[in-house]
Amino acid sequence: MAGKVLIAYFSHWGHSKEFAEAIQNLTGGDLFEIETSQFYPEEHDPCSIQGHNELLADFRPELTKQVPDMDQYDTVFIGHPIWWYREPMIIRSFWESYDFSGKTVIPFATSGDIGIENTEKDTKKFLPTTNVKAGLRLETHAVASSTNQIREWLAADGVI
């Protein structure tokens, strides 16, 4: 059983947000947007340089909002765009801000072409006492046409 479900996401251009909303539609869970005081340029190239610098510096962007009562959730989806082959550093800020022991965490992502394998590995590394289930990555513009795939993934992970 999935128990009480939270869908937490960071999204710069809105595609991972769309994915989060699709999961919310299918699970009835609570949605939470991961927000930061860090400014990211809208355009790809300057944003890409900034994302790379943050990765090289192992930087932790400041979170400006907390999940109200994380303890109430049994299953937490954590979603994001792929930046530099893995999760943006703000996801590490989020992982480190809560106690996920005993919970189930399920990663999800959108990207141009890179898969979710690095995020899955990093989730297990950062949350060693958490039950991390198989994630799903969708191509940037494929969320709207992927409802069946999302449903099958949620069923395979035992969430619906």
Ligand X SMILES: Cc1cc2nc3c(=O)[nH]c(=O)nc-3n(C[C@H](O)[C@H](O)[C@H](O)COP(=O)(O)O)c2cc1C
Give the residues lining the site for ligand X (CB under 6 A): 11-17, 44, 47-48, 51, 81-85, 110-114, 140
What's the closest the beta carbon of residue 4 comes to ligand X, in angstroms? 25
What's the closest the beta carbon of residue 116 comes to ligand X, in angstroms? 10
| Percent composition of the chain: helix, strand, coil (DSSP 3-state, to 5) | 35, 20, 45
* CA dihedral sign of residues 75, 73, 23, 20: negative
What's the closest the beta carbon of residue 24 comes to ligand X, in angstroms? 15
Identity of the residue, 12 or 103, whose beta carbon is nearer to ligand X in the bound complex = 12
Identity of the residue, 55 or 131, whose beta carbon is nearer to ligand X in the bound complex = 55
Identity of the residue, 10 or 95, whose beta carbon is nearer to ligand X in the bound complex = 10
Identity of the residue, 58 or 69, whose beta carbon is nearer to ligand X in the bound complex = 58
- Cα–Cα distance for residue pair 136/100, rounded to 1 Å: 20
What's the closest the beta carbon of residue 107 comes to ligand X, in angstroms? 14
| Tally of CA atoms within 13 A in the half-sphere of 134 that contains its CB | 10
Token code pair at residue 30: 């609570």
Contacts for 126 with CB less than 8 Å, ≥ 6 apart: 92, 95, 96
